[in-house]
Amino acid sequence: MNREQSRKECTALAEGLWLPDPFELAEFCSWFGRQQGRDVVLLSHAMAVGGLCGTWMRTAQADYVFYEASTSKLHQTHIVLHELAHILRRHVPGSELSKDLVRTIAPGIRASDVFRVLGRDSYNDDDEFEAELIATLILRRIGRQKTREAPKATNPTAEEIIARITNSLSRGDQ
DSSP β-ladder status, 54-59 and 62-68: antiparallel
Its sign, for the CA torsion 70, 71, 73, 79, is negative
- Segment 12-20 shows an average pLDDT of 96
Of 141 and 173, the structure prediction assigns the larger pLDDT to 141
Looking at residue 60, its pLDDT comes to 82
Which is nearest to 9 in space by CA: 122, 96, 137, 125? 137
Find out whether 62 and 108 touch, Cβ atoms under 8 Å.
no
How many structural domains is the chain composed of? 1
Which is nearest to 58 in space by CA: 117, 110, 103, 119? 117
Looking at residue 123, its pLDDT comes to 46
Strands in 39-45's sheet, in edge-to-edge order, are 39-45, 62-68, 54-59, 114-118
Domain residue limits at 7: 3-173
Find out whether 101 and 49 touch, Cβ atoms under 8 Å.
yes
Q: How many CB atoms lie within 10 A of CB 171?
A: 8
pTM: 0.74
Over residues 104-136, the pLDDT tens digits come to 666 777 767 766 666 554 444 888 899 999 999
Over residues 32-85, the pLDDT tens digits come to 999 999 999 999 988 765 566 888 888 888 899 989 888 899 999 999 999 999
Looking at residue 146, its pLDDT comes to 80
